[in-house]
């Protein structure tokens, strides 16, 4: 009897751990997908408005192969919800309809919508703050002032301005990722009920990615300093630039709550249906 009891406990904890891992894999994949989508949209929208390249190839690889995977892997260590074993698994969750897939994509986009326009603004603002860069040479403003000669784009001043703009933007994007990742600690529950320290790996990844980005920026500038004049110049940014830099990422704590509220309603309805179906089948097949 004691052996059977211990076997039941082992099976119970095994199922609990499997459920936790499945939930964490989903959260990790959604963050990975959303973070890459935000990077793609930043690049596409920047091109539509004829702005300087938002990121170059090396920076895109750096984000997709180093920074974003660090957040994604850290989310695999999310703690299990205390009531995880009281939930009925949704048997038909793998059979997604087109409407459900679109809803999931929209939820991801809502979670990552804040940094997309802000990062473009940060990039262009930094470029314009560099000495020797005129506003008529940047982006859509060329429609009014005329096409900028190619020699301007190839100048060391413009290349330096783009380098600063791109790296400032990437650092700012990582700051947003730090706030967004907090919303992925739980797929349903609000930040009010989720303990931030429940995933210490995620908390350690946040400063780690910021430090790595600083080192990456310094390395890029140091490598290209030989071909650029005045690579030690700092962009002349106003004080309110840094206020925006600090305050706006906090908006990423609001949008996930909107997504989770709707998701909780759908989840509760699905749980009620599954429980009703289970009880109906149990009554049909129970011995008379």
Domain of residue 53, CATH code: 1.20.1110.10
pLDDT of residue 229: 55
In a domain, 37, yes or no: yes
Mean pLDDT (10-residue bins), the chain, 288 residues: 65 82 88 93 87 88 95 89 69 64 81 89 84 63 51 67 89 93 80 78 94 92 65 72 81 77 73 72 58
In a domain, 1, yes or no: no
In a domain, 111, yes or no: yes
In a domain, 174, yes or no: yes
Q: For the chain, what is the domain count?
A: 1
pLDDT of residue 144: 46
Q: How far apart are CA 273 and CA 255, in angstroms?
A: 28
In a domain, 89, yes or no: no
What global pTM score does this model have? Answer: 0.82
The range of the structural domain enclosing residue 227 comes to 6-84+96-285
pLDDT of residue 37: 92
């Amino acid at each position: 009897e004691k052996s059977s009891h211990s076997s039941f406990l082992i099976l119970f904890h095994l199922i609990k751990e499997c459920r936790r891992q499945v939930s964490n894999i989903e959260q990790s994949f959604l963050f990975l997908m959303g973070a890459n989508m935000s990077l793609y949209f930043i690049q596409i929208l920047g091109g539509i408005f004829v702005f300087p390249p938002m990121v170059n190839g090396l920076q895109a690889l750096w984000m997709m192969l180093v920074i974003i995977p660090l957040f994604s892997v850290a989310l695999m260590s999310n703690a299990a919800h205390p009531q995880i074993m009281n939930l009925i698994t949704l048997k038909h969750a793998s059979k997604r309809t087109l409407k459900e897939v679109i809803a999931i994509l929209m939820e991801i986009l809502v979670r990552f919508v804040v940094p997309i326009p802000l990062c473009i603004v940060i990039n262009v603002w930094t470029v314009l703050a560099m000495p020797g860069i005129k506003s008529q040479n940047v982006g859509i403003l060329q429609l009014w002032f005329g096409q900028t000669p190619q020699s301007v784009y190839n100048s060391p001043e413009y290349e330096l301005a783009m380098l600063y703009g791109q790296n400032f933007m990437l650092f700012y994007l990582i700051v947003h990722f730090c706030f967004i990742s907090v919303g992925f600690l739980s797929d349903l529950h609000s930040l009010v009920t989720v303990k931030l320290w429940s995933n210490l790996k995620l908390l350690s990844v946040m400063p780690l990615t910021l430090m790595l980005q600083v080192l990456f920026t310094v390395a890029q500038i140091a490598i290209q300093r030989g071909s650029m004049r005045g690579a030690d110049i700092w962009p002349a940014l106003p004080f309110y630039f840094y206020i925006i830099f600090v305050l706006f990422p906090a908006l990423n704590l609001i949008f996930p709550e909107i997504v989770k509220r709707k998701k909780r309603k759908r989840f509760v309805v699905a749980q009620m249906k599954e429980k009703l179906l289970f009880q109906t089948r149990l009554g049909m097949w129970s011995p008379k």
